Chains A and B, each alone.
Chain A
Amino acid sequence: MAQHPQEPSTSQPTVIGGNCRLVGELFLEGSAIIHGQIEGQIEVTETLEIGEGGLVSGTVRAGAMAVHGRVEGEVYCTDALHLGSTANLTGDVFAAAFSAEEGAVCRGQVVIGQQAAEAGRAARGSGRDAMADAAAEEQVVAGHIEQGAPTSVSTSPNAAKSLLRRRPSILSTGPRSAAG
């Protein structure tokens, strides 16, 4: 029973294979996974994943984004940007939330937060904003960073002050001292 190739729905990501090299502008409604090379501008309305062998140079606009390959250029995410352990990103980043695993390499100017997400949205001029707003309000931890949790830290301000007073060895007062 041979099946007709169907037009992919937006729920299925568009895959750009490792043997594909694209120069120019690419706009994708829905999600995408890139294993190949793209030079120029790419805009993906939902989730963009850049595979380990993927290389994007230019401007990238997406909802959420996960990078395992290489990105050089400007990145605008209305949602979270995650850099996996094999990611290499050089350039400017604007995103609502950000995580980078140990092993990832990232260099550049980075702006994270609601305003940054809005900058990404303005750059895209796209519609689905209320959703991103709602998502940005959620206090969800994105990604996984394997590091030990901080241990035994006091929470009362006075206790902390006295703690610091007792431990001058690790502290040195800056040029301007306490203002409050």
Chain B
Amino acid sequence: MRAVRCPFCEAPFEVSSRAINARCPKCTKPMRFEDAELNGFCNQNVTTMGTVRIGRKGVVRGRIECGSLVVSGQLDGTIRINGCCIVQPRGVLRGEIAARSMLIERGGSFEGTVEIGGGAAARPAA
């Protein structure tokens, strides 16, 4: 099971880790839970409540809205994460980040604006 929080009403609930679609048990809004991994050079926008992973060889630019984010390569963009943002030791993250929690490991780097907490990450993008 994976613990999630509805981006619309903030209700916490659990979905199966294999679930692709689900509705919030409180506000009944639909959401998708697919995971994605991006590698190589790409300009990509992603919207999912699942995990987005930027692979070691990923050099990605785009707008990302996701449940959680793991950066092992390079990511430049506007990013809204409903859960945790992790930048791994060789990961490079730049841009505007809104997240519920954040971890930038030693050897990883980040440059940009951060908004953690304060309901910032919970607001779904227009």
Secondary structure dominating the interface of B = strand
* Residue contact A80 to B61, C-beta cutoff 8 Å: no
**Contact A107:B115 (CB < 8 A) given known A97-B104, A178-B42:** yes
* Residue contact B110 to A111, C-beta cutoff 8 Å: yes
How many Å from the CB of A162 to the closest CB on chain B?
11
Question: Among B32, B63, B102, which residue has the most Cβ atoms of chain A within 10 A?
Answer: B102
Of all chain B residues, the one with the shortest Cβ separation from A135 is B106
Q: Report how many A-B pairs have Cβ atoms within 8 Å.
A: 176
* Residue contact A174 to B43, C-beta cutoff 8 Å: yes
* Residue contact A174 to B68, C-beta cutoff 8 Å: no
A103 close to chain B: CB less than 8 A:
yes
* Residue contact B46 to A136, C-beta cutoff 8 Å: no
Chain A residues closer than 8 Å to B43, beta-carbon distance = 173-179
Query: What is the CA–CA distance of A171 and B43 in the complex, to the nearest angstrom?
Result: 10
A14 close to chain B: CB less than 8 A:
no
* Residue contact A161 to B40, C-beta cutoff 8 Å: yes
Query: What is the CA–CA distance of A127 and B118 in the complex, to the nearest angstrom?
Result: 38
* Residue contact B104 to A99, C-beta cutoff 8 Å: yes
**Contact A145:B106 (CB < 8 A) given known A108-B114, A110-B112, A150-B35:** no
Residues of B within 8 Å of A, CB-based: how many? 54
A102 close to chain B: CB less than 8 A:
yes
Chain A residues closer than 8 Å to B106, beta-carbon distance = 80, 96-97, 135-140, 142
When the two chains form the complex, which single residue of B2, B48, B57, B109 contacts A157, counting CB atoms closer than 8 Å? B57
**Contact A150:B103 (CB < 8 A) given known A105-B116, A171-B36:** no
When the two chains form the complex, which single residue of B46, B51, B59, B117 contacts A106, counting CB atoms closer than 8 Å? B117
Chain B residues proximal to chain A, CB less than 8 Å: 2-3, 17, 32, 34-48, 50-51, 53, 55, 57, 59, 61-63, 68, 70, 83-84, 86-87, 89, 100-118
Question: 14 more A-B contacts (CB under 8 A) besides A105-B117, A113-B109, A153-B37?
Answer: A80-B106, A97-B104, A98-B102, A100-B117, A106-B115, A109-B113, A110-B112, A110-B114, A111-B110, A136-B107, A153-B35, A161-B40, A164-B44, A179-B41
Chain A residues proximal to chain B, CB less than 8 Å: 80, 83, 93, 96-116, 135-143, 145-148, 150-155, 157, 160-161, 163-164, 167, 169-180
